[in-house]
Structures are given as C-alpha cells and as structure tokens.
Structure 1
Amino acid sequence: MNIMLIRLANEADIKDLIAIDSVASQEPQRVLQIHAWCTESTCFLAEKDGEIMGYGVLNYHFFGCGFIEMLMVGECYRRCGTGLNLLNALKSKCQHPKLFTTTNQSNFAMQRLLLNSGFIKSGQIENLDEDDPELVFFIPIPQ
C-alpha cells in the first residue's frame, strides 16, 4: 500500500497543479496565483506514487490568523480522502491558534468536508459572488 504524501509545492510542480485545477483552464488569473503560491512557499500538495492529487494554500493574511485560501482536489481524486488529508496537514502546519477558511454557500461538498474535519461555521460574507454568499469556517489550533 502506497501512502499519500503531503509536501510543500515548488516551482517544478506548477504545471501539474495547473493541470488538476478545475478553474485554471478558464481563468488565467488562477494560473498566476498558483505560480505565486508556489514561489511564496504557501502551497502544499498531496501526491501518491508521484502523481499530484490536490493542493491547499495556507497563509496568514486573514487578520493575521491562519487562513486556508484554497483547497483544490483533482476531479478523479475527490471523495477518497484527499481533501481530508490535505485539511489535516494544513491544520498541523498552522502556526496560529485560529485557522479560518471560506467556501461558497453553493459548495455543499466543501461545507461537508469542513464540518467533517472539525471546522465550525463562523459567519458569512455577502457580495463577493452574486447571490452566493461566502461562508466562513473556523477551527481552533492547539499550540
């Protein structure tokens, strides 16, 4: 049995991260973000047998607290533990006692994943996406 590895992404991984990102092919801005996240050392990826399955971005731009800016799992790796493994790794790497993330109200799969991994709802932000509020989630991180 081969184990999923979570590691810091680097510039050599950018092409593979773009390939599994379901938004990158339609939004050139996402490609630029992936480049930035990799060069800023805020992007962690999940891989198994050398194949990249997903990635998550952890930074501290949300009022100085830990913030998961992005969690992306490749289409064919969804609902098999990749997202949960990434979330757990990001929680373990967080250097602040508070960790937040957000997702659209319409993204039921992500909401379920967050709740299953221990996050609690912590409010919402209106007017980012028309008629689809951004839900805020929080989890305390033992220091």
Structure 2
Amino acid sequence: MDIRPARIGDLDALVRLDTVAAHNARRAVQIQGWIEDRLCHVIETDGDIAAYGVLHHHFFDCGFIEMLMVGEKFRRRRLGLRLVDHFKSICERPKLFTSTNRSNGAMQSLLKEAGFRESGHIENLDADDPEQVFFWPCER
C-alpha cells in the first residue's frame, strides 16, 4: 500500500472509482482540477488505485478534507482511515475540518475513530440530509 499525490495519469482510474462520476460528468472535471492543483492524494495497492482524497487549506484558512472516496471493492480494509491519518500528518494549518452527510454513518464512525469531533452542521446542501461538520486540532 502506498499513499502518494495523484498524477494526471491516475485520472481515468479515479473517475472509474468515484461513484458520483458515473452519473455526473462534472465530477471528472473536478477530479482533474484537484490533481492539477496538487490537492488529491491516492492509495495504491498492488498497482490499483484503491482510494483517493482531497485536502485543501482554504476553508477559513484551515485544512479541509473535501473528498474521501474508497473504491467499492476496497472497502472495509481501513483505507479511508489511513487516508485521513495521512491528511492529518500533512495538514499545514492548526485546524483540520471535514464534513459528511448526516445519513453517512460509516464516514461519521471513521472520523470519530480518527479523533475528529462534531463541530456543527450545515442545512440545505442536500435535501433532508444535513452536512455534519467535524474538527480535529492539529497538534504541532
């Protein structure tokens, strides 16, 4: 298993892995932008892209994990937790945030296991499914 910055050559594999990209062409463009901006990191296992995530530092000048996606056939192997831990280790700000839908219990459990704590919610992004915000204090 290797965690590394994504390369433009990974784009097709990331689009195939991403469950939203299958029905939303804008996501592929978004992934390409994340790669070009050097915000996207991947987990590669045995030559396959198994997961990816996006970390930026423009959420009120704090770190923010904007995306975390584990390929369906690679789930339940703790790869999401490893990617979150990686982002915690490279966060360049004293605070790191992320969010997930209230309905996404698996992601909420992962974040709590990683030491994140709830920090509020945002209404009206998805109908009837508020976005839960989570916080981790980067101890540097």
| TM-score relative to the length of structure 2 | 0.98
Partner in structure 2 of residue 22 of structure 1 = 19
Of the candidates 79, 83, 86, which is equivalent to residue 86 of structure 1?
Answer: 83
Q: Which runs of 5+ in 1 are unaligned?
A: none
Name the % identity: 54
Distance (whole Å) between structure 2 residues aligned to residue 93 and residue 17 of structure 1? 21
Distance (whole Å) between structure 1 residues aligned to residue 76 and residue 118 of structure 2? 21
1:106 to partner: Cα distance: 0.5
The equivalences for 1:1-143 within 5 A come to: 4-143=1-140
SS in 1 for 2:132: strand
SS in 1 for 2:93: coil
1:24 to partner: Cα distance: 0.4
SS in 2 for 1:102: strand
1:64 to partner: Cα distance: 0.9
1:46 to partner: Cα distance: 0.3
1:29 to partner: Cα distance: 1.1
Distance (whole Å) between structure 2 residues aligned to residue 109 and residue 32 of structure 1? 27
| TM-score relative to the length of structure 1 | 0.96
Distance (whole Å) between structure 2 residues aligned to residue 79 and residue 93 of structure 1? 24
Q: Let me know the Cα RMSD of the aligned residues.
A: 0.6
Instruction: Give the partner amino acid of 1:136.
Output: V
Distance (whole Å) between structure 1 residues aligned to residue 14 and residue 62 of structure 2? 25
